[in-house]
Amino acid sequence: MGLSDLPLAAQRPYGGQGIVRQFYNGILPDETFENASRAFALQVYNGLLQSSGADMLIDKSPRYYYNLEFIDALFPESKRIWLIRNPLAVIASYKKVNKHVNDRFAMKEDLRNPKFNIKMADITIGLFRYFDYFSAPSSYAHHLRYEEMVKHPELELQKLCGFLGLSYEEGLEKYGEFQDSAKSDLYYSMGVGDPFVAHHKEPHLDSLHSWKESLDREEIEMYTRVLGAKLFHDLGYSEELEEAQRITGVQFQMEPDRELLELRTKQLADASGCVWKEHYQLQSNPGSPRDDMSLPELQQSVNAQQLQLQITLRALERRLEKSYVEQRRLQSQLEATRQKIKRVKAMIPFGNQLSHLASTYLIGGKKR
């Protein structure tokens, strides 16, 4: 996310924000920026793989909905995994984890609060972004359902390994037995993620229906109203929706609260400068050589002529902007001078007549 935000040129204590923004958005071609970002990411990923003795790296963040377009541009042939879970169970998990780490997750106060809150964006527009992104079938996407994973971990991991092109290892689901490995050390060293994962050695069913106890009636009603019944049906949680309706006594409308979703989308765009493509779906480019490009190949791929034309175009645009600004400045100055002359004339008795006579005398000489 930090890479994708570089062109936004955040405020820095050393200044230069305008110059940096102009460089990224007016001079540097998009392709060159993407190639440089890809090279940086590959260096980081390869370093992590070497240090942990791993063959594959999973980069996971619940907020990658923020820059899906950028991820697709950098790694179009990457494997994407969508972990799907009952939305009510998700916010129950949010509530539990945030309470454990003494962080705020006050959904009843914040869900409809007009003030922007990134966690409320996560559970609303973030969820819809992921739903749109994974809505089209793709050989580069795998849908992993949480409920099936905890019920049948071995079977689901076999499917997942097949998708990733890996061989399933016996006992892979017993992750607690690998907590002292270098790969596990990398995970725990981050200090993020589920703080309760180390409490169990393998997937369990304890959290499957805990949302019914963790959430009160008002929280269930508020959140389900915002998402709408249709999303629950589309995600495969019709039974959970019926249970939510039984608990609350409310028959939820099919459509979501679009006004609130539009507000959150605008707020995130205003706060970050990031603009999304509406209803964006996963984009892949089979056979693209970009994922495996080395640094020399990246450098050779830059079209020098295109870069020079881009710079020339931006220079002409800047000169035109300055010319327009200068024209407006001179017009304002001219108008201000005219107003001053009018005010001076108004202060002199018969000022207009005297001015006319003086002008006539200077232009045509003394008249008889």
The DSSP secondary structure of 149-177, one letter per residue, reads HHHSHHHHHHHHHHHHT-PPPTTTT-GGG
Residues 226, 144 share a domain: yes
pLDDT at 293: 47
* Domain end point (choices 222, 252, 284): 284
- On whether both 278 and 329 belong to a single domain, the answer is no
In a domain, 119, yes or no: yes
210 and 346 inside one domain: no
Q: What single-letter amino acid sits at 279?
A: H
Whole-number pLDDT of residue 303:
53
Q: What is the DSSP letter of 83?
A: E
**261 and 204 fall within a common domain:** yes
Q: Are residues 201 and 344 in the same domain?
A: no
Residues 209 and 146 in one domain: yes
CA distance 280 to 283: 9
219 and 155, same domain (yes or no): yes
Q: Which residues contact 114 (CB under 8 A, 6 or more apart)?
A: 263
8 A C-beta contact, residue 231 and residue 87: yes
pTM across the whole model: 0.76
Best CA proximity match to 154, nearest among 132, 142, 170, 141: 170
Q: With CA atoms as reference, report the closest residue to 28 among 306, 319, 318, 322.
A: 306
Q: Which of 255, 284, 313 is the last residue of a domain?
A: 284
CB atoms within 10 A of CB 56: 10
Same domain, 148 and 104: yes
In a domain, 357, yes or no: yes
> How many domains are there within the chain?
2
246 shares its domain with 344: no
Q: Is 131 part of a structural domain of the chain?
A: yes
In this prediction, residue 314 carries a pLDDT of 62
Which of 225, 251, 284 is the last residue in one of the domains? 284
Looking at the structure, tell me whether residues 224 and 118 fall in a common domain.
Answer: yes
Task: Indicate if 117 and 265 belong to the same structural domain.
Answer: yes
| Position 34 in a domain | no
Task: Report the chain (368 residues): mean pLDDT per 10 consecutive residues.
Answer: 79 73 78 91 89 84 94 95 98 91 90 95 98 96 97 96 94 80 66 69 85 96 98 98 98 98 96 90 71 48 56 64 74 81 69 58 55
Give the model's pLDDT for residue 295.
Answer: 47
Does 239 reside within a domain? yes
Asked if the structure places residue 19 within a domain, the reply is no
23 domain residue, yes or no: no
Q: Is residue 99 domain-resident?
A: yes
Class of residue 256 by CB neighbours under 10 A (exposed 0-12, middle 13-18, buried 19+) = buried
Residue 99 sits in the same domain as residue 169: yes
Domain that holds residue 260: 81-173+195-284
